[in-house]
Structure 1
């Protein structure tokens, strides 16, 4: 049976999963790119971007593991794009170009209906308007026993955690303090939710912590 998991989600040492002021020209928020510096030079990320070979090591191992056995993804609407309110048209196709890195069905949480978007490489975006449980059930149905990855952002992860629907979390703690932005742990008590740390590893540019629900 597949797990519902968060994997390779970058957070600052003070718990922020994105910087403030997220926008089209600044999708990760102010200084948000600092959270992801650990993955940018890895072999996994370089090849995903079509940029040739990258570095190998602990960070790359965790990046590779984050993509293993994924049968479907779930994203919050901000992870798909900066468009707010009703879709004016269907011109926005996501941040990733013609061939997104998911290569599976992706379920996007939104309040506004939109037809499925099929792209190259096997990625199809489905826009779910009836809540997180519905999106998860749809994702499990198509994953067929593989894992469902909750890709983010932070607000979406908090919703699934609060509802008790996540089995495993892998956080990449980047050695930076943002001081402001979108806090991953706001309103959460991971201990009360049943999570315990099962693995910690110091990578080249991040500390990796894996937690599972007891």
Structure 2
């Protein structure tokens, strides 16, 4: 069976994966881009804009670049797809422009589903009001035997972890304190017993944690 994977999920030292309040002008709230500064110099990020990565970021890119390997579908939450209230805008098609970086069927979990939206590059957004297990079943059907990526945000990742549906989890610990926002780890006490965990700190100052199901 295909695996369910999470990649490049950045959290602060106090466990927040996004700040508050989120808006069109501030997608990550008061956190701004601080959780993702490690990612911007990597070849994986720069390639999305047709550029080259900073060689100094190669240790981080060794982790970041794994996000697309053997991925056949993605699942994301409503707050990753758009700012609060996007469901009221029939023309909203996500943050990423006409050619989003996913290039797979992408399932958006929302209590207000709409019809699918086909984008350039092979991405089609499907909108589901479904449990994690049911959403994963739909994504696996669309993935053609490849793996399914849980793209975030933290609430969605936490829900899939709580139901034991994640095979591989990559979390990037960023050495900042946010104090408020949306936390990843709440309600997941004892999670570590189900995974083999490795830790690597890179010259950028972040620590990559990988969790692989035993």
Superposition TM-score, scaled by structure 1 size: 0.93
Tell me the residue number matched to 2:95.
Answer: 95
Q: Which has the higher helix share?
A: 2
TM-aligned CA deviation for residue 202 of structure 1: 1.7
Residue 188 of structure 2 is aligned to residue 188 of structure 1: yes
8 Å contact kept, 1:128–1:134 = no
8 Å contact kept, 1:193–1:213 = no
8 Å contact kept, 1:11–1:171 = yes
Residue 129 of structure 2 is aligned to residue 125 of structure 1: no
TM-aligned CA deviation for residue 132 of structure 1: 2.0
Tell me the residue number matched to 2:71.
Answer: 70
8 Å contact kept, 1:164–1:193 = no
Tell me the residue number matched to 1:43.
Answer: 43
TM-aligned CA deviation for residue 123 of structure 1: 0.4
- Equivalent pairs, count: 211
Distance across 2 between alignment mates of 1:192 and 1:160: 15
Structure 1 portions without partners, runs of 5+: none
**Any runs of at least 4 consecutive aligned residues in structure 1 with deviations exceeding 6 A, and if so which?**
none
Distance across 2 between alignment mates of 1:204 and 1:106: 33
Q: 3-state DSSP class of the match of 2:22?
A: coil
Q: 3-state DSSP class of the match of 2:38?
A: helix
Tell me the residue number matched to 1:201.
Answer: 200
Tell me the residue number matched to 2:81.
Answer: 80
Tell me the residue number matched to 2:13.
Answer: 13
8 Å contact kept, 2:16–2:181 = yes
How much is the aligned-residue C-alpha RMSD, in angstroms? 1.6
Distance across 1 between alignment mates of 2:18 and 2:36: 10
Structure 2 portions without partners, runs of 5+: none
Tell me the residue number matched to 1:138.
Answer: 138
TM-aligned CA deviation for residue 211 of structure 1: 0.6
Distance across 1 between alignment mates of 2:46 and 2:190: 33
Q: CA separation of 1:84/1:183 partners in 2, compared to 1, >3 Å: closer, same or farther? A: same
What are the superposed Cα offsets for residues 81-133 of structure 1, whole Å, 9 maximum, x if unpaired?
Answer: 01438x33421010000010101110000111201011011100000113222
TM-aligned CA deviation for residue 143 of structure 1: 1.1
8 Å contact kept, 1:195–1:213 = yes
8 Å contact kept, 1:74–1:106 = yes
